[in-house]
Amino acid sequence: MYKIKAFNELSLQELYEIGRLRQEVFVVEQNCPYIDFDGRDDKCHHLMFWGDDKAELMAYARLVPAGISYPEEPSIGRVITSPKARGTGLGRKLMLAAIEECNRIWGNVPIRISAQTYLLDFYSSLGFSSTGKEYLEDGIPHTEMLFSITV
């Protein structure tokens, strides 16, 4: 079960757990020192999967409106699963929920992401297509991908 909240709906505890998990994985595990709180969180929706005890954040994604990361499309970013939840399929559930919530919030519009290149097959399996634009972000290879719903 997941929760989605706008920034101003987050409790202090939820905000703390989001920051803690993002730092644990992106900064420490991936050895990537960068400014995580980048001035965008307050404009986004925050998708959270909590553990059975409802106290530990197990997976998270930030849903970014158009005009923030990309001029024309909303985006899904800061996609993360706790090391404790890896291999359980929670990452797939997280992304499927993120796509569903983007569609609910902004309609059936294309969604653009900045995917770590080693995860291209994972994102492709969810319906994202590479735009062919690979680049370094914080020293890690990324590829721009696009999800489009055909009606």
Percent of the chain clearing pLDDT 70 (strictly above): 99
Instruction: Work out the pLDDT band at 33, boundaries 50, 70, 90.
Output: confident
Mind listing the pLDDT tens digit for each residue in 56-97? 999 999 999 999 999 999 999 999 999 999 999 999 999 999
The reply to whether the predicted model has a pTM over 0.75 is yes
Model confidence at 121, in pLDDT bands (50, 70, 90)? very high
Residue 117, pLDDT score: 95
The Cα angle at residue 147 between residues 144 and 149, in degrees rounded to 5? 160
Alpha-carbon Rg for the chain, nearest whole angstrom, is 15
Looking at residue 23, its pLDDT comes to 94
Asked whether the beta carbons of 147 and 127 are under 8 A apart, the reply is yes
Q: What is the average pLDDT score of the chain?
A: 94
Contact 58, 82 (CB under 8 A): yes
Q: How, if at all, do strands 140-147 and 128-137 pair?
A: antiparallel
Per-residue pLDDT at 120 exceeds 80 = yes
| Largest pairwise CA distance in the chain | 42
Degrees, nearest 5: CA angle 32-5-62: 25
Domain 2-147, what architecture? Answer: 3-Layer(aba) Sandwich (3.40)
Chain segment 96-114, per-residue pLDDT in tens: 999 999 999 999 999 999 9
| Secondary structure E strands in the chain | 2-6, 45-50, 57-64, 75-81, 111-116, 128-137, 140-147
